[in-house]
Each structure stands twice: as C-alpha cells, then as structure tokens.
C-alpha cells in the first residue's frame, strides 16, 4: 500500500509537473505570440519620420521665416507625412491628397478640433467663434447660424448694395490718381475692409469711422507672430514676448467698437437692419427662446471677429496676387478684360449677376489661389484621440498641418505647376470648385472644418476684381519689376506691395463717379 501510495504520489507529481510544463509552454507561446503582435503593432504605429532637432528647442532654430517652404523641403525628404518638434510640441505635416484624405474625410471627426495659438484664442474670445472653437454641439450651432442666417444667398443678395457702394468709392479714389502709381494692396485692403465693415453693421457714405486698416494689420501681425508661449506651454504664463498682452489691449479696442454698434442697434438707430447688414440679425439671436438657435453675446462677438478678420485680409491679399499675376501675363489680362467688356458692356457697371458668366475671370481667381493660397498651411487641426494616418501613429493633441501650398505645386499632380495658367480650370475635364472635393485643390480646406465664409469671400473677391479690371487698364511703372516673393504669416502676402498705374478703359466719366 505504501508502495502504491508512493506510486500514486509519484504519478501525481508527474502529472503536476507535466501540467506545469504545459502551462509554462502555453504562457511562453502566448507571450511570444503577443510580443510578435505588439512588435508588429508598434512597427505599424511608429511615429512619423522627421528631422532631428536640438535638445529642448527641437527644430525651431532651423525653421526659417517661410514655414510652408521649409515644410515642403522636409516633405520631399521624409515623405507625405512627417513630424517635427518645435519646442516641446509635436507638429505633424501632411502633404499629399492620399494622406490628407484620411485627415479631412475618413477621420474628419477625430481631426475636427483646432489647435489655436494663444494670440488667436484671445482674439476670438477664448475660441468662442467658428474658426478656432473645438468641434461639438455649440460649434455646429454657430456654423449653422453663420452659414444659413448670415451667408445665405438671400442675405448676401440683400447686402450687395453695401458692397457696391464701398467699391464705387474705391473706384472714385483710384480715378483721382489716374496716371500716377497706385499701391494696389492698399487700395484692395481699404476697399475690402470698408466693404466688410459695411456688411457687418452698415457704414456711413463717406466711409468714416475708426482706422480699421491699422487695427486689422496689427491683429494679423500678432496672430501670425511665432510665440514662445505656443512652443513651450509651461512658459506661457510669462508671455515672454508680450504678444498676449498686446492682443488683449487690441481686443479692448474692438470690444469698444462692437459695444457702440450693438447699442446703436438696440436703440433702433440703425433702422432695424433693413440695409442688409449682418449685425442686427446676430443681435436678434441673443435672447432667442430656443437654445438650439440662440447665441451668447460672447459668441456673437467671436463670429464678428471671424467675419471682420477672415473676410478682409485674405480677400485683399488674393486681390493683390491676382493683379500681380495678370500684369506679368498680359495675354491673360487682355482675355479677362475682353470677357468683361462682352459680358458687362462698355457703358454699364459690373453687377454680381454678371459674375457667373465670367468664366475666364473665375479661372484667374482659381489659378491665383492655387499658386498663392491665402492660408498655405490652413488652420491647424488637433486630433481628439490617438489615431493612425499614413501608416504612422499620430498622438492625441498633436498639431496637424495640411501643406496646401505644397499640394498645389506638386508636379505629380499638376502640369507645369509653377506656371500661371487659368485655362487649366476651364478644360471641363474636372469640375473644379472651392469645396475641397478634389483634394488636389483645397485653398479653403475640406471637410467639416472647411472655411464657412466661402460664399462671401468668393463674391467679394470676384466682384472687386471684376470692377477694377473692367474700368481700368493697369501698367507697371517704368523701371519697376513685379516680384512674386512671399511673406509667410497666418495669411501669405506679397513681400513687396504691388504698384501699378491706372488709366480709364472707357470715356464715360459717369462710370467712375
């Protein structure tokens, strides 16, 4: 019995040993398989490639002043998706339609948040606007109101009288300088600013009021300035460059202007908004009974900043780029003006009803925006969760840039990408528009965060350009060369302002008065 018990014990020991060995083998096998899966996963979800930087500051010392050009060069080395460390923040840059599709289409919701610089947050009332507010119910409500209430066709049609009056004053000013050099950028900016101000809350016939041009210029400089507080968030409280403090002082001036205009509307001094201006409609939404269609005063002011800033500097900048390209390409200038003469006539003013018939001019604008997109990197996005793009891991809260400038000049996507050829948008093979449906061309972005002010920008730019091309011949002063060098910023401007000499195209003086 003892021997039997000993054998039973020995058998049990063997069984336990076998079970332990089997378990150990299973654990090792599972661990090995798991490590293989993790290894494959980690390889698949590696961070994007990118250039080496320096300790603490990353790639900041090597950026240069033209960020879009630096990113284009890095993209040619590291591919259509790469990372770069600026300070202690990771930036991811994408620059091909295939990779951009994942960001703006397939994973649009994940990438729907913004990464607003600190100066931009201050300018928009802590991102209480449409351009910089994170994606969510409030943003969707504000965008819906903005698109349908402010920028619907009926509202834009009603405000045409205001735009027409301001552009007419610009024509009269240029007519008074016939034969003398005119700074096109200044004319375009002042005309567009006054036009936007008139559309927001009406304007006096003489265009009087605050120096909007100076206010807008200072705001754009502050928003576009590289800020140490953005690259090193832990140091933001120091505001080492004083950018945030300057922005707060500037916004106080805008705040005062908004308050005066809103008070005038509430008192009924504006006539009830019958002139087609936007602000009376917005103020009327402040105390709406339905939360889904009412706005706070902070949101109203944020939307006013979007309209005032987003609709002025960009439109005026593209106006100057377009005239620069046309002056460098006289045949294109002649074709655009011949089309205007045929559609509008020699004794008529340009009306917005003419714009859909101006096919070649539309091609001029589209080609200008291809070569000189107002926002060469668009407004940066910020993923709400870690995700995969182009086979690489993009961490939550990384800053993601879409290098539109590089896409628009990619020789794999465009024939003669550096050439100014408006005809490329008229061949009929592709239905080109500004919606970003074709990811080879997206000057206003694509997806749910595309520019909501597109209908207004398109009308304002086309109308202003059509009027000044229809009424004036433009010539470059003797000895002056037109340069196309760019000055990078939030909006990409010409490094040197365009100067040209106007002469009337028609003898009917009534067209200019």
> Looking at residue 189, what is its pLDDT?
82
- Average pLDDT (402-411) is 97
> Looking at residue 410, what is its pLDDT?
97
Are 93 and 67 in contact, with CB atoms under 8 Å apart? no
Instruction: Mention every residue, 6+ apart, whose C-beta is less than 8 A from residue 234.
Output: 88
Please tell me whether residue 399 adopts helix, strand or coil conformation.
strand
Residue 185 lies in a domain: yes
Residue 238 lies in a domain: yes
CA dist 353 and 213 (Å) reads 29
User: Mean pLDDT, the chain, as a whole number?
Assistant: 86
- Average pLDDT (283-299) is 82
Residue 71 lies in a domain: yes
> Looking at residue 305, what is its pLDDT?
87
Nearest to 47 by CA among 489, 388, 459, 351: 388
Residue 55 lies in a domain: no
> Looking at residue 180, what is its pLDDT?
94
Full residue range of the structural domain in which residue 253 is found:
60-511
- Average pLDDT (78-94) is 96
Residue 456 lies in a domain: yes
The domain total for the chain is 1
> Looking at residue 4, what is its pLDDT?
37
How far, in whole angstroms, is CA 184 from its chain's centroid?
Answer: 23
Q: What is the pLDDT of residues 136-171, one digit of tens each?
A: 999 999 999 888 877 778 878 888 888 888 899 999
Distances (CA, A) of 225 to 4, 97, 215, 374, 494: 90, 29, 16, 16, 17
> Looking at residue 39, what is its pLDDT?
43
> Looking at residue 33, what is its pLDDT?
57
Are 375 and 404 in contact, with CB atoms under 8 Å apart? yes
Lowest mean pLDDT segment, chosen from 32-36, 167-171, 366-370: 32-36
Q: What is the pLDDT of residues 128-144, one digit of tens each?
A: 999 999 999 999 999 99
The secondary structure of 247-264, three-state, reads: HHHHHHHHHHHHHHHHHH
Residue 9 lies in a domain: no
* Domain of residue 255, CATH code: 1.10.630.10
What residue numbers does the annotated binding site for heme cover?
451
Residue 18 lies in a domain: no
Lowest mean pLDDT segment, chosen from 188-192, 289-293, 475-479: 289-293
Residue 144 lies in a domain: yes
> Looking at residue 127, what is its pLDDT?
94
Q: What is the pLDDT of residues 202-259, one digit of tens each?
A: 655 444 456 777 888 888 889 888 899 999 999 999 999 999 999 999 999 998 888 8
Task: Check residues 474 and 455 and name the one with the higher pLDDT.
Answer: 474
> Looking at residue 20, what is its pLDDT?
38
What φ, ψ does residue 421 adopt, rounded to 5°?
-135, 85
What residue numbers does the annotated binding site cover?
451
> Looking at residue 500, what is its pLDDT?
95
pTM for this prediction: 0.87
Instruction: Please check the confidence at residue 44 and state whether its pLDDT lies above 60.
Output: no
């Amino acid at each position: 019995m003892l021997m039997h018990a000993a054998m039973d014990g020995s058998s049990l020991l063997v069984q336990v040993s076998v079970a332990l060995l089997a378990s150990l083998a299973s654990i090792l096998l599972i661990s090995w398989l798991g490590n293989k899966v993790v290894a494959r996963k980690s390889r698949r979800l590696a961070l994007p490639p990118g250039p080496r930087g320096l300790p603490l500051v990353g790639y900041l010392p090597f950026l240069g002043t033209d960020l879009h050009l630096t990113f284009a060069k890095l993209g040619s080395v590291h591919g259509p998706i790469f990372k770069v460390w600026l300070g202690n923040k990771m930036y991811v840059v994408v620059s091909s339609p295939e990779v951009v599709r994942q960001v703006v289409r397939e994973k649009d919701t994940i990438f729907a948040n913004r990464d607003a610089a600190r100066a931009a947050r201050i300018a928009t009332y802590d991102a209480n606007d449409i351009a910089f507010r994170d994606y969510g119910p409030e943003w969707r409500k504000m965008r819906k109101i903005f698109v349908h209430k402010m920028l619907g066709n009926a509202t834009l049609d009603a405000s045409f009288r205001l735009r027409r009056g301001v552009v007419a004053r610009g024509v009269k000013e240029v007519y008074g300088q016939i034969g003398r050099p005119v700074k096109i950028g200044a004319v375009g900016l002042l005309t567009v600013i006054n036009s936007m101000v008139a559309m927001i809350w009406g304007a006096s016939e003489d265009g009087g009021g605050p120096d909007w041009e100076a206010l807008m210029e200072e705001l754009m400089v502050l928003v576009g300035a590289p800020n140490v507080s953005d690259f090193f968030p832990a140091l933001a409280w120091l505001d080492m460059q004083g950018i945030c403090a300057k922005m707060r002082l500037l916004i106080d001036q805008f705040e005062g202007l908004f308050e005066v205009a809103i008070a005038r509307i509430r008192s009924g001094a504006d006539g009830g908004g019958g002139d087609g201006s936007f602000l009376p409609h917005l103020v009327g939404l402040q105390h709406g009974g339905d939360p889904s269609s009412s706005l706070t005063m902070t949101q109203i002011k944020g939307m006013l900043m979007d309209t005032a800033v987003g609709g002025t500097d960009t439109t005026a900048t593209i106006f100057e780029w377009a005239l620069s390209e046309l002056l460098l390409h006289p045949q294109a200038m002649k074709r655009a003006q011949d089309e205007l003469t045929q559609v509008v006539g020699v004794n008529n003013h340009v009306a917005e009803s003419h714009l859909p018939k101006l096919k070649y001019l539309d091609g001029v604008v589209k080609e200008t925006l291809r070569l000189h997109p107002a926002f060469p990197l668009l407004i940066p996005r910020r993923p709400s969760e870690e995700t995969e793009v182009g086979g690489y891991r993009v961490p939550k809260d990384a800053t993601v840039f879409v290098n539109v400038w590089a896409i628009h000049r990619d020789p794999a996507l465009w024939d003669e990408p550096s050439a100014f050829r408006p005809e490329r948008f008229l061949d009929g093979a592709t239905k080109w528009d500004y919606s970003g449906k074709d990811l080879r061309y997206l000057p206003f972005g694509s997806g749910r965060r595309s520019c909501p002010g597109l209908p207004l920008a398109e009308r304002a730019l086309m109308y202003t350009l059509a009027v000044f091309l229809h009424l004036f011949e433009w010539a470059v002063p003797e000895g002056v060369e037109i340069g196309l060098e760019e000055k990078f910023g939030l909006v990409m401007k010409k490094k040197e302002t365009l100067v040209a000499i106007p002469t009337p195209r028609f003898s009917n003086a009534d067209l200019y008065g």
